[in-house]
Structure 1
Amino acid sequence: MSSKDPHTDSLDALKFKMSARKDSDKFFMSISQREKKPFDVLRAMYDGCIAGGVAGVVVETALYPIDTIKTRLQVARGGGQIILKGLYSGLAGNLAGVLPASAIFVGVYEPTKQKLLRSFPENLSAIAHFAAGAIAGATSSLVRVPTEVIKQRMQMGQFKSAPAAVRLIVANEGFKGLYAGYGSFLLRDLPFDAIQFCIYEQLRIGYKLAAKRDLNDPENAMLGAFAGAITGAVTTPLDVVKTRLMVQGSQNHYKGIYDCVNTIVKAEGTHALFKGMGPRVLWIGIGGSIFFGVLEKTKQILAQRHPKA
């Protein structure tokens, strides 16, 4: 016969239920960033820079040929033939710009996201993610635009090397030539960054709530691919306009964003605004899978290296 008090058993059961409920509450608070933990802005920025730089370099190296084909498709007028040689043209110079640009983007995005999530109501977390993506995109554009201009002109075979591209662009067009199509770039990339990161973050929140656990690496990659493919398809017309303005150089086929859209539609038809959508969706879908997969894994590794508070 047991000598244990039944009253003690009921107390133990109650404590177990309260503990389980506390752990469950903690999990759901962590999903929406509502758990009040000390927030180190510099640490978030530092980790974001490293994770963003690594992810950006990996995805750019892996998918550069697809991006080259997409650029050549968008620039080709009428039934122009697409050249499939030199698909890695300009990769080294592009990586020199992608590394700092990706580092700056994520380095700004992570602390901005955390700050906004602590300021916005829980039901407006999507707005916090959207705004953080736009702010990070605007900041990194100072590096990304010159990198994109040089990359796309080298993909078109206009220059042999990145240093030569910079030197000749500045000589022929002035320093502003490095920022050709800046307005169209912002028109494309600010919505793109905001939409892609918002979709990805919201999908992660929903997936965590459904699974009641943290995501593993394949799941992060899957959600990244989905977010990238959707965003890539929606923003293709903006990408076509941006590409045409960036590669025209001193020829001035187009006077601006409106003139570019109007000229393309009149001369080539509305369907021309969707040129290269297939390679773009493929490129960004696979790129999103690689980028977010590498990003989350790198962030996890960095977090494990930090001493816990």
Structure 2
Amino acid sequence: MAVTMMRLQHAHDSEYQLEHSRPVQLFDQGMYREDSLSYSEFSRGKTKYRKLALKGDGKPQLHYVSASTVAEKPARPSLLRGFIDGAIAGATAGVVVETALYPIDTIKTRLQAARAGGQINLKGLYSGLGGNIAGVLPASALFIGVYEPAKRKLLEIFPDHLSSVAHLSAGAIGGATASLIRVPTEVVKQRMQTGQFTSARTAVTSIVAKEGVTGLYAGFGAFLLRDLPFDAIQFCIYEQLKIVYKKTVKRELYDAENAVMGAFSGAVTGAVTTPLDVIKTRLMIQGSQGHYKGVFDCVTKIVKEEGASTLFKGIGPRVMWIGIGGSIFFTALERTKYLLSQISESKSKEFLNARTV
């Protein structure tokens, strides 16, 4: 059955619909299950709309509002479409942020890695950027690619007053999935930032040779301990700010407004999770010598040997880095999502023009 306007069961019904209704506009190609409105239903002048059986992933649902009006209601994008668009937006935002703010991240890492009295080296602040981009791009793509459809589904499940739970959960789900790529990337990056290796390839081969493949996942537990709450909290704060602000201004947000909300959510989350970041950094860079046996042992030794304040080492650069990063990331994310929606809308219009009868 080719995609065209709805065919009625009888020829006179078809003629009646053509005479008394606007052209049916379809938003997507594909196979549909037909349902028809009989002549008698039209002639009785139904005033309430009736849903037509046009269901399928990502397919539109058309509604007959009256005998003389056809209104179109495009269905939400499919999960696959949501994943692809999210992946493109996430990859773009992640690469932009990482390239712009990498030196601040390097300084933060060296501050956290330095033992009491250690000196901070300010040379080679872009050390490891290339290898990190190679990991950030797929990790960011995977994170947003999972986050967006997960958020949409969870928002359908939870009532409006529990939207924050949906955002928290979607952030954690996205973070957990992306950690499979993020952790090896972070291990290699931080060991290069602290001068242990001069190239990503050397770092990977050396780590695998000395510590095995599991060496690339050093500090995995600490990473999840930091990143799952970080992702959940940051995206929840941002999404909730957007909801409240949009209700206030009653319009779509400008890039500058997204930037401010992104900066605020990033800075707050970065400050709160700094101790978890310090623990994660120490566990990831310790290598095969194993100074720390785990998260609890790391916390205990840091507090005992260096003082509790050490758990907040690098909080200044971290808050600045993540605050600015949040500003850039969410602006780039929203802008890319907008451009993708415009491209999709443009394609829909082209299809409409080709299919309208």
TM-score, normalised relative to structure 1: 0.88
The answer to whether residue 232 in structure 2 is matched with residue 159 in structure 1 is: no
| Deviation, structure 1 residue 39 | 3.6
| Deviation, structure 1 residue 251 | 1.2
The structure whose Rg is larger is 2
Task: Determine the structure 2 residue equivalent to 1:260.
Answer: 298
Q: 1:189 aligns with which of 184, 203, 227?
A: 227
The answer to whether residue 148 in structure 2 is matched with residue 85 in structure 1 is: no
In 1, Cα distance between equivalents of 2:74 and 2:326: 30
Q: Which runs of 5+ in 1 are unaligned?
A: 1-34
Structure 1 runs of 4+ with >2 Å offset: 35-39
In 2, Cα distance between equivalents of 1:83 and 1:122: 50
| Deviation, structure 1 residue 45 | 0.6
Q: Which runs of 5+ in 2 are unaligned?
A: 1-72, 350-357
Task: Determine the structure 2 residue equivalent to 1:223.
Answer: 261
SS in 2 for 1:204: helix
Q: 2:316 aligns with which of 267, 275, 278?
A: 278
In 2, Cα distance between equivalents of 1:151 and 1:82: 17
SS in 2 for 1:176: helix
Task: Determine the structure 2 residue equivalent to 1:302.
Answer: 340
| Deviation, structure 1 residue 40 | 1.5
In 1, Cα distance between equivalents of 2:309 and 2:289: 24
In 1, Cα distance between equivalents of 2:329 and 2:226: 19
Query: Per-residue displacement from partner, 1:245-290 (whole Å, max 9, x unpaired)?
Result: 0000011110000000000000011100000000000000000000
- Taking only aligned residues, the RMSD between alpha carbons, in angstroms, comes to 1.1
Task: Determine the structure 1 residue equivalent to 2:165.
Answer: 127
Task: Determine the structure 1 residue equivalent to 2:37.
Answer: none
Query: Per-residue displacement from partner, 1:217-239 (whole Å, max 9, x unpaired)?
Result: 11001100000000000000000
Q: Could you tell me which amino acid in structure 2 is paired with residue 187 of structure 1?
A: L
In 2, Cα distance between equivalents of 1:68 and 1:51: 25
In 2, Cα distance between equivalents of 1:84 and 1:305: 44
In 2, Cα distance between equivalents of 1:160 and 1:73: 19
| Deviation, structure 1 residue 36 | 9.0
Task: Determine the structure 2 residue equivalent to 1:44.
Answer: 82
Q: Could you tell me which amino acid in structure 1 is paired with residue 107 of structure 2?
A: I
In 1, Cα distance between equivalents of 2:183 and 2:110: 18
In 2, Cα distance between equivalents of 1:39 and 1:129: 19
Q: Could you tell me which amino acid in structure 1 is paired with residue 306 of structure 2?
A: E
| Deviation, structure 1 residue 125 | 0.3
Q: Could you tell me which amino acid in structure 2 is paired with residue 147 of structure 1?
A: T
Q: Could you tell me which amino acid in structure 2 is paired with residue 174 of structure 1?
A: G
| Deviation, structure 1 residue 37 | 4.1
In 1, Cα distance between equivalents of 2:259 and 2:112: 28
Q: 1:239 aligns with which of 268, 277, 295?
A: 277
Aligned residues: 275
Q: Could you tell me which amino acid in structure 2 is paired with residue 72 of structure 1?
A: R
Higher helix share: 1
Q: Could you tell me which amino acid in structure 2 is paired with residue 281 of structure 1?
A: V
In 1, Cα distance between equivalents of 2:164 and 2:76: 22
Q: Could you tell me which amino acid in structure 2 is paired with residue 304 of structure 1?
A: Q
Identity across aligned pairs (percent)? Answer: 71
Task: Determine the structure 1 residue equivalent to 2:206.
Answer: 168
In 2, Cα distance between equivalents of 1:231 and 1:136: 17
SS in 2 for 1:218: helix
The answer to whether residue 218 in structure 2 is matched with residue 180 in structure 1 is: yes
Task: Determine the structure 2 residue equivalent to 1:108.
Answer: 146
Higher relative contact order structure (alpha carbons within 8 Å, sequence separation ≥ 6) = 1
In 2, Cα distance between equivalents of 1:124 and 1:68: 38
